[in-house]
Structure formats: structure tokens, C-alpha cells
Amino acid sequence: MSVNEVWSIDPRTGREIKLVAASTSTAEVGAVAAAAWMAERELVGFGRAARAGLLRRLAAALEGRSDKLIRVADRESALGAPRLNAELARTIGQLRLFADTVQDGSYQEIVTTPALTDLDPPMPDLRRMLIPVGPVVVFGASNFPFAFSVLGGDTAAALAAGCPVVVKCHSGHPETSVLTMEAWRQAAAETGAPEEAVQLVFGRTAGRQLVQHPSIKAVAFTGSLAVGRELHDLAAGRPDPVPFYGELAGVNPLVVTPGAARDRGEEIGGSVVASFTLNGGQFCTKPGLLFVPAGPDGDRVVATAGERVAELQPAVMLTAGTQSSYQAGLQALVDHPHTRTVARVPDVIAGGASGQGGSGGYLGTPALLEVMIGDLDQSVLNECFGPVAVAVRYESIGQVIDVLEQLEGSLAAAVHTTEPEAELATALTKAVLPKVGRVVYNGFPTGVAVTAAMTHGGPWPATTNALHSSVGPTSIRRFLRPVTFQNAPQAVLPAELRDLDEPVRG
Amino acid sequence: MSVNEVWSIDPRTGREIKLVAASTSTAEVGAVAAAAWMAERELVGFGRAARAGLLRRLAAALEGRSDKLIRVADRESALGAPRLNAELARTIGQLRLFADTVQDGSYQEIVTTPALTDLDPPMPDLRRMLIPVGPVVVFGASNFPFAFSVLGGDTAAALAAGCPVVVKCHSGHPETSVLTMEAWRQAAAETGAPEEAVQLVFGRTAGRQLVQHPSIKAVAFTGSLAVGRELHDLAAGRPDPVPFYGELAGVNPLVVTPGAARDRGEEIGGSVVASFTLNGGQFCTKPGLLFVPAGPDGDRVVATAGERVAELQPAVMLTAGTQSSYQAGLQALVDHPHTRTVARVPDVIAGGASGQGGSGGYLGTPALLEVMIGDLDQSVLNECFGPVAVAVRYESIGQVIDVLEQLEGSLAAAVHTTEPEAELATALTKAVLPKVGRVVYNGFPTGVAVTAAMTHGGPWPATTNALHSSVGPTSIRRFLRPVTFQNAPQAVLPAELRDLDEPVRG
């Protein structure tokens, strides 16, 4: 495999299946950026109704390809058809939600204040609205080949805003990405949208170059802390820095109160395993740190969870890189002097391949560890992306609050509690709120509803900018900026800002 | 004057008048940041009604000190009583506007979506709102000792949001700043607000340290491109980068169309001088680049403007640094091989002091230059902060559009045009909109109305983040982030998110 070749790989076997593309060259990156710049101009004329129609056509074009998309995406990601079906449905739903958002128009936040000429100084006629920021680069995420990839939430939000998108293909699912682009081209042709309003590039170099390209005005990224930090720094270091919206890392703390452990210990212990091992634990919202009381009630939570983990098969991880960092992170947790391994699945699928040797797929072994709260150190508090969680055993809620206050940011936290513990739940909420974008009660953070009430965001390193959500219609804000027209003649105003009672020519 | 001494200086004479403070030491910065962190906690309990009351008390406390504030600010800034009166009135009005904003509550952008348990997967109960980001550092601006300083717009917005503020005092008006802090302390005492919710520090080192301090969660800055870039890079380079809202530089292009030059050439030529020389041209919105048609109509614009400039006295600039960079920038424009100096005021006030020698104040000399559009280069397109503008003579609007498309970002642009030129005005609007936050028609960008329809922002280097306005109630957004409560018990919810029909204890 040459550096310039982009191969589709089967993570279940580690084999190269198909040569999909070549890495995008520097010259091609320049052409792509120029085309995005041109497409921005064309999209101005391709107004709100047309954009809403385009988004609906895109949804339909994906729907029409769903069987093939799911087959290819499963072969590239090993996430399985049921999950991919649900993810594609969500992706299609997102496109339709953004179509509604665009059509509704209130996302433009129009405010007009009439002239008040008898004031001193007089108040001019002011008309404000949000307009697109310009071309956006979207980095596809390994763990959501549809929902956070070529036509995923970031692209849908940017297109809805009126911004052209250049997608940097994730190396984990190039064939899915190319296939998704077919849906784009079909919808663009059907609606007359500029075909270059969505373009696909390959390779890390192309990604880095685009982040620094003067025509690119914002970047959306979902991925690792290391790569996210690097790209963030490139975006911030430009002669003209641009917003970088990255979703990077987090341990997503989950607290089981003494009452919850007592009343629902086994139920919670079972369900939490489903949450942290789902799809190989490869979720940004995976609960990685479980605060469980010391003593017999907490023991029951841990024991039940351990039994569940022991029943699992190894997961097939998304990529070779994900597997190797997971297994290294897991080994470091296991080797930590103060952790105890409650359960760890062997890295062999019954009758199948080993993940360690040359013969097999990218196996990640589910595990549950345990540590006393007094023995915590930063190495246990870093995210380990994959099917593992650490149960932190505590003596008092005060200890939990102390640790929560030391944590870095996460997308979400969860609190399992009981009704009589209102005071304690309130104290935990206060402690955790500064660290997260969402708090889930008596539930699990995996599973993110796509609504205007959702926040998928949070303080660094959960995201690079806690002011925004990357899920739901409010995520469109990342790609809009305000402008004000002062004492403008009707003819120069966008349609949305014109007086309703005056006919306009020209 | 030792490095650690903070002196109040009279820019009319260049003399040190009063020792106001010492630069804040590293140890003190640590204590200030810790106090801000504590104040953040206290402000949580100091809810919306209390914050609105605090902002109103602050307005009254400033009002009660207005005579003295204006006297001291004039002595430190030489901006003159009429302007400072208007600026203080605006500052007081801003505080009241934010009080209304907080009381109204819609800035919290509450969205709740009820549980839908019969869906698959079920939709949880979700309740979203915006909460404060945490302690904010505000850098006072030299050119607005009230409206962009200790209790100016940034502080008002941050306090309204519920964020404690540390103000880095601008060295140009330390005595005004200390006096303003008295108003803060009075209002805090009257309302029981935590006194450390606004603190004042002195010196560049303290400012830099705060931008990098882990307790600080956002930065607002108004000042030069060089300092702004440095602080931006510090904020972005933190282990946990935080938003940096800087307002840095821009030429604020102004276009006079052929029709406007023909119909109102003299009027525009006169008024534009008032705009670019007002208060020594020391406005972020000063129109610095005037596109004027070649030929006799345009000649009339330039000639009238030149005559007006020649009638002016030198301005007293805010600080020694502002004066020296202005005079150096002006000299570079004058020495440019392709510019012609239309008018330049001598640097002597009739019967007064010279700005060049050791005897006098910080004089800045108003000037108007002219250049043919084909002779433009980047050195003419950089902002020169002070009372100068360059008239760029063009043959066709196409030439103007070409130059506009090459410009960097500005806060505002202006278009002087006539009704029959609708097509031309539309083309100019399209060309200029990607570069600015506001377009003014048949008027001047200086003078910024404080309303929800205002945008005081724009692409780099006008600001460091074009998504926001630093003027008007929408500026509060810079200091808020979204959070979502999922299936939360009533008791843990903020008052605003609770069910209305259920009584709550605890």
C-alpha cells in the first residue's frame, strides 16, 4: 500500500479489499478550495427554498441507496447492520430536520429596528440577519460513517447555512464516502445545486492544507485529541484564524448514588455494560468513569457489570489505529498499580482469529476495572476510547464531588439516583455542570437525540468551543455570522430583510 | 516612572499627573483569579432578578459620579466633555439594556422537548438553556474610557450572563478606571453582589497571565492588531484553549458612487471629514479608505474634504504610543511613491505646543491623501489609527469591486449612492458583505447604535471571531454556553427549566 493509495480495509480481517482513491495532491487541494469559493457565490443565488429542497432530495437519495450503503459501511466499519440502519435513518432524519430549519427561517435571527429620527443622535434603520461564513471543511469521523461523515450533521448544518463543504474522507470508510458522494451528485443534479457545494478529499496532508487555506472559513472535526489539537492549532495559527469546531475526548463520568446502588444495583450494573461496550465502546459519549459506592450495594453493581463483561465477545474495532491505541490504553489501566481488573475478555473470538497476530481482525477486548477513589491519578482519568470502563469506589459523595471538580470537560455526565436523594443529586449536578454539555439522570449518555433541546458539546477537551452543539438544529450557528444593514435601500437588501409592503424591482 | 508604577498622564501636556497604582504582581494575579473563581460560585446563587437589579444599581452609581468621571476621563483622554458625556450616557444605557435582557430571560434560549416514550428509541425529556461560561477577562480600550472599559459593554454583557469579570486596566485612563470601580463597589454593596465579581488589574504582564490562567474561561479585548494577535495566540495555545473575542483593526471602506459624487459631492466631502477626524479619528469604525470616482465630480468630493481638513487643528491623541504609531503611519502614507497629500495639518496648535518636541502633548495631525486605484498596494490598505483617510480614485465600479474583494475584514463599510443606481449598489453590497459586519448606506460608520439589530463585528482582523457582535444585547452570547438536562428530576433543575405546574422542594 503506497502512501498515496487510499484502500478500503475490512476491520474483521485486516485485509485491503479495494483501492478507492489516491490521496488528494497539493494542486488538487488548490482546485478544490477554488471550486468551493465559486460554489459559495452560486449558493447565494440558490436561496432558502432551494436549499431546503436540496436537503430533502439528499435525504431521498440516501434512502434510495440504503441497502448498498449499509452493506459497504458494515464491511468497512464492522458496526453491524442494525446499528448502521439506525445511523443512516438518523442521518436522513437530520437532513430533513435541517430542511425544515432552513424553510422556517427563524435560524436567521432577523432583528429589525426602525429609524427614530427625532432622537439625538437619531437612530438609523437597522436590519440584522445571519449569513453563511463561507466554505467549511468537515472531517469525517471514524465511528459514525454516516451521521458524522460525508453527509452527516456537520455537512447538513453547513449546507443548510449556505456554506459549501469540503469533506476530508476518514480513512476508515473511503468506499462508503465515495458511495455517499453519489447521493450528493444525484441530489445536486436533480435540484440544480452547484455540484462543487460538496467535495471529497483524501489524506491527512490535504486535510491540513485545507484547514490553512484562505478560502476556508470554518472547520468541523470529530476525532482524537492529538489530531484535533494539531488541527486546532493550525486553524488558530493562520494569518486569519478561523473557527475550529472539534469534538475530541472525554471520560463522561457516571455516578451511582448510594440509594441507586441499593435499589437498582444489579439493573444499573447490567445496563452500564451495554452502554460502555456498545459498538466496541467507540462513542464520544461512552461512560468511562463509573463512581460506585464502596460496600455491598456497590459491590453488587460491580459484580453484575463484571459478569456481563465476561459474557461478551471481543469487539471488532474500527481501524488498526483505534485497536492499537485501545489495547495500549487498556493495558496501561490494567498495569496501573492501584487498579483491579474485574473482568477482561480474552482477545480471541470463539473459533475465530486473534487480534494480536498477523492473521486477524482489529479485535478490542471489553474490560471492567476498579480503583479506590483515593488511588485515582490522571492516568486513570484520561479517555480510553473503546469497550472499557473504570469503576471508582467511593466512601462519600464529598469525595466524588472533589474528583468531579478536578475532571476535564466531557460531552455528558450521568447521575443514577433516587427520589429521596434530591439534595445529593443537586450537589452532584452543581459539581458536574461546569464540566459537561449534558447531564443524564437515571440513564446513559450514549444515544443522542437530534432535537433543538439537545446539547452535544462541552468544555475542552470534549470540544474546542463550548459555545456550540454539533447535534440538532442549533448546530447551524457554527456556520453563520451576523451582519447589519443600516439605512439600506430596499433594492440591496436580501429578500428576508425587505419591507413587506413595498414592491421591489432589480 | 518605574515599570511597576501606573501613572495617570495628561495627553494634552504629556505630563505624569498622579500615581494611581502599582502593576499587579504574579502573586496578586493568582489571588484575583481565585477570587473570580469563588465569585462565579456566588453568582450562581445571585440569580437573574438580582443580576438585573445589580446592573440597574451600577447604572445609577455611574450616573451619581458622572461629573467627576467625565472630568477625570477628559483629563486622561482629551476626548472632551461633550463626547465623554455621550459615551457615559451610552454606557449607563447599556447597563440598563442588559438589565432588561437579563430580566426578560429569552437570552437563555430555553428549549424543552418532552419525552416520547412510544418512539423507538424513546425520546427522553430534554431541557436546554444557556449558562455562564465562567470568569472573563476584559481588556479596557484606550479610545472608550467608559463604553469599552471597566463597566463597558463587555463587562455588562459578562455580568448579565452571570460571569465574574477581571478588567485589565488600560494604561491610558487608570484614574478613570479606579473611579469607575468605586461605582462597582457601591452597587455591589447595595445589592449584596459578591464584590469580587468585578476586579481590576494593572499592567501587561498581569493581562497576559490572566489570559493563560486556568480559571479564566473567555477573554474580551479591544485594541491593536499586534497586541490582539499576541493575546489571541496565548488564549488559543492554552492546554485548554478559551474563546478570545478581540476587536483589532480594519480600514472600513467607504464608496462614493458616480451618482452620489455628482449629486452630493460637496456634502459627502464635508461630512466624511467629520467622520474620519472625529475624536482624532480614534474609532474602530473610522472610514479610512474612500473610493471616489475620477473626474470632476470626484474632484469636488476630494477638494471639499481637503478644504475641511485644512481648517482643522491637530488632535490630541489618547496616548504617546497612539501618537507615535499614527504619525509614523501617516508619514509612511505621505512618503508612498504614488500618494498625493491633499491636505495635512501642521503639528502645531495655534499658539500652543508642538507634538514632536519634548514640551508638549500628544498631537496627531489630520490629513487627507489621494491615490489612483491602479497604484494601490498593501501598505495603503492597512489601518492607520488616527485622523487620516486615503481617497482612492477609480475609473469604474468594476475596479472598486476588485479591490473590495482583496480587502481584509472590517467592522463596517459605507456606500454613498443614489436611487437610480440600484444595480450598482447591489453589486457593491455583494462585494463588500463578505468583508464586514455592517454596511451603512448614505451615511458614516462612526456612531454605533446599541440595539439588538446592531452588529459590531466582522471577519479578521476586524475581530477574531466573526460569529459575534460586541455591541447590543446579542453580545451576551459570547459568555454563555448551552447545557441540556436529560430526564432530570425537578429538584436538580434550575428554576427556569422546572415544570410550572409542580411544586418543588429543596
Chain A contacts of B423, Cβ < 8 Å?
Answer: 491, 506
Mean pLDDT in chain A?
95
**B484, B485, B505: best to mutate for the A interface, most A CBs within 10 A:** B484
Q: Is A196 a catalytic residue?
A: no
Check if the beta carbon of residue B457 is closer than 8 Å to that of residue B468. Answer: yes
Position B348 scores a pLDDT of: 74
Name the residue type at position B87: E
Which of the four pLDDT bands, split at 50, 70 and 90, describes residue B350? low
E strand intervals along A119-214: 126-132, 136-139, 165-168, 198-201
Q: Which amino acid is at A93?
A: G
**Dist. CA B436–CA B456, nearest whole Å:** 9
B484 contacts on A by Cβ (under 8 Å)? 437-439, 453-455
pTM confidence score: 0.96
Average pLDDT over residues B330-352: 88
- Residue B1: pLDDT band (50, 70, 90) is low
Is the minimum CB–CB distance between B436 and chain A shorter than 8 Å? Answer: yes
- Residue B325, C-beta contacts closer than 8 angstroms, at least 6 positions apart: B224, B385
Query: In this complex, do A126 and B437 lie within 8 Å of one another by their Cβ atoms?
Result: no
Please give the single-letter amino acid code of residue A381: L
- pLDDT digits over A137-167, tens only? 999 999 999 999 999 999 999 999 999 999 9
Burial (CB count <10 Å: 0-12, 13-18, 19+), residue A501? exposed
Quote the cell numbers at residue A10. 475490512
Task: Indicate the residue of A241, A415, A477 with minimum beta-carbon distance to B232.
Answer: A241
pLDDT of residue A342 exceeding 90, the answer is yes
Which pLDDT does position A119 carry in this prediction?
85
Burial class (CB in 10 A: 0-12, 13-18, 19+), A378: exposed
- Nearest CB to B441; choose among A240, A455, A489: A489
With a cut of 90, say whether residue A188 has pLDDT above it: yes
pLDDT value at residue B504: 52
For residue A2, give the amino acid letter.
Answer: S
CB contact under 8 A, A439 and B481: no
Residue A105, by phi and psi: left (phi above 0), alpha (psi -120 to 50) or beta?
Answer: left
| Contact indicator for B55, B99 with CB cutoff of 8 Å | yes
Q: Residue A492: which of B134, B426, B485 has the nearest Cβ?
A: B426
Question: CB atoms < 10 A from the CB of A160, how many?
Answer: 29
The predicted structure's pLDDT at residue B357: 42
Q: What is the pLDDT of residue A356?
A: 42
Give CA torsion, residues A210, A216, A221, A227, to 10 deg.
Answer: 40
Task: Tell me the three cell numbers of residue B468.
Answer: 459575534
Q: Please give the Cα distance from B27 to B206 (Å, whole number).
A: 10
Q: Which three cell numbers stand for residue B40?
A: 462565579
Q: Look at residues B419, B459, B486, B392 and name the one whose alpha carbon lies nearest to residue B246.
A: B459
Q: Which pLDDT belongs to residue A347?
A: 79
Sign of CA dihedral A225, A31, B400, B333: positive
User: What pLDDT sits at residue A45?
Assistant: 87
Which one has a higher pLDDT value, A351 or A365? A365
Length of chain B: 506
Mean pLDDT over B365-383 rounds to 95
Residues 6+ apart with CB under 8 A from B309: B273, B277, B342, B343, B344, B345, B366, B367, B368
What distance in Å separates the CA atoms of residue B17 and residue B175, rounded to the nearest whole number?
A: 10
Inter-residue contact B458 to B250 (CB < 8 Å): yes
Taking only the tens place, the pLDDT of each residue in B470-500 is 999 999 999 999 999 999 999 999 999 999 8
State pLDDT tens for residues B163-184. 999 999 999 999 999 999 999 9
Cα–Cα distance list, A141 to A177, A228, A259, A365 (Å): 11, 11, 38, 22
Cβ distance of A439 and B477 shorter than 8 Å:
no
The catalytic site residues of B sit at 247, 284
Lowest average pLDDT, out of B131-145, B270-284, B337-351, B372-386, goes to B337-351
Distance between CA A146 and CA A166 in Å, rounded? Answer: 16
Q: What is the Cα–Cα distance from A58 to B503, expressed in whole angstroms?
A: 47
Instruction: Please give the Cα distance from B462 to B274 (Å, whole number).
Output: 22
3-state SS string over B117-181?
Answer: CCCCCCECCEEEEEEECCCEEEECCCCCCCCCCCCCHHHHHHHHHCCCEEEECCCCCHHHHHHHH
Give the three-class secondary structure for A335. Answer: helix
Give the whole-angstrom CA distance, residue B257 versus residue A491: 16
* N-term to C-term CA, chain B: 57
Choice among A32-41, A391-400, B145-154, B356-365 with the minimum mean pLDDT = B356-365
**For a pLDDT cut of 90, what percent of chain B falls above it?**
93
Q: Do A483 and B438 touch (CB under 8 A)?
A: yes
Of A106-110, A348-352, B236-240, B457-461, where does mean pLDDT reach its minimum?
A348-352
Q: What is the pLDDT of residues B10-50, one digit of tens each?
A: 999 999 999 999 999 999 999 999 999 999 999 988 999 99
- Decide if A408 is catalytic: no
Report how far Cα A75 is from the mean position of its chain's Cα atoms: 21
Put simply, whether B240 touches A (Cβ < 8 Å) is: yes
pLDDT at B502: 56
> Buried b / exposed e across A6-19, counting CB within 10 Å, b at 16+?
bbbbbbbebeeeee
Q: What percent of chain B has pLDDT over 70?
A: 96
- Determine the number of helices (DSSP H) and then strands (DSSP E) in chain A: 14, 19
For residue A506, the model assigns a pLDDT of 45
Segment B61-79 mean pLDDT: 98
Are A453 and B484 a contacting pair, CB within 8 Å? yes
In three-state form (DSSP H/G/I as H, E/B as E, the rest C), the secondary structure along B451-472 is: CCCCCCCCCCCCECCCCCCCCC
Give A446-476 as a DSSP string.
-S---STT-----TTTTBS-TT--SSSGGGG
Report pLDDT for B505: 52
Residue A65 in contact with partner chain B when CB distance is under 8 A: no
C-alpha–C-alpha distance, residues B363 and B320, integer Å: 9
Q: How many CB pairs under 8 A join A and B?
A: 215
**Beta strand residue intervals within A373-488, DSSP E:** 388-394, 410-416, 436-441, 480-486
Determine the pLDDT at residue A428. 98
Range with the poorest average pLDDT among A349-353, B157-161, B272-276: A349-353
What CA–CA distance (Å, rounded) separates A244 from A255?
A: 31
Q: Rounded to an integer, what distance in angstroms lies between the CA atom of residue A162 and that of residue A164? A: 7
Q: Do B460 and A240 touch (CB under 8 A)?
A: yes
- A40, A87, A175, A247: which one is catalytic? A247
Own/partner pairs for B495-498, CB < 8 Å, 24+ apart?
A: B495/B47, B496/B48, B496/B105, B496/B108, B496/B110, B496/B129, B497/B110, B497/B112, B497/B127, B497/B129
- Angle at which helices B204-211 and B225-237 cross, to 10°: 40
C-alpha cell at B129: 438553556
Q: In angstroms, what is the C-alpha Rg of chain B? A: 25
Amino acid at position B411, single letter = L
Q: Which domains does chain A have, with CATH numbers?
A: 26-248+466-497 (3.40.605.10), 253-441 (3.40.309.10)
Q: DSSP class of residue A113?
A: E
Alpha-carbon gap, residue A73 to A71, rounded angstroms: 6
R_g of chain A computed on alpha carbons:
25
Q: How confident is the model at residue B435 (pLDDT cuts 50, 70, 90)?
A: very high
Q: Residues A462, A467, A470, A475: what is their CA dihedral angle, to the nearest 10 degrees?
A: 180
Kindly state the DSSP code that residue A435 receives in the 8-state scheme: G
Instruction: Say how far apart CA A142 and CA A172 lie, in whole Å.
Output: 6
Q: Residue B393 is placed in which grid cell?
A: 480614485
Shortest distance, CA A220 to any CA of chain B (angstroms): 15
Sequence-distant (6+) residues with CB within 8 A of B16 are B1, B7, B8, B9
Cα dihedral B199, B201, B206, B212, rounded to 10, equals 20
H helix and E strand count, chain B: 14, 19
Residue B21 has a pLDDT of: 97
Active-site option among A284, A370, A384, A408: A284
Rounded mean pLDDT, A300-310: 98
Instruction: Say whether pLDDT at A502 is over 90.
Output: no
Please report which confidence band the pLDDT of residue B355 belongs to, taking 50, 70 and 90 as the band edges: very low
pLDDT at B326 over 80: yes
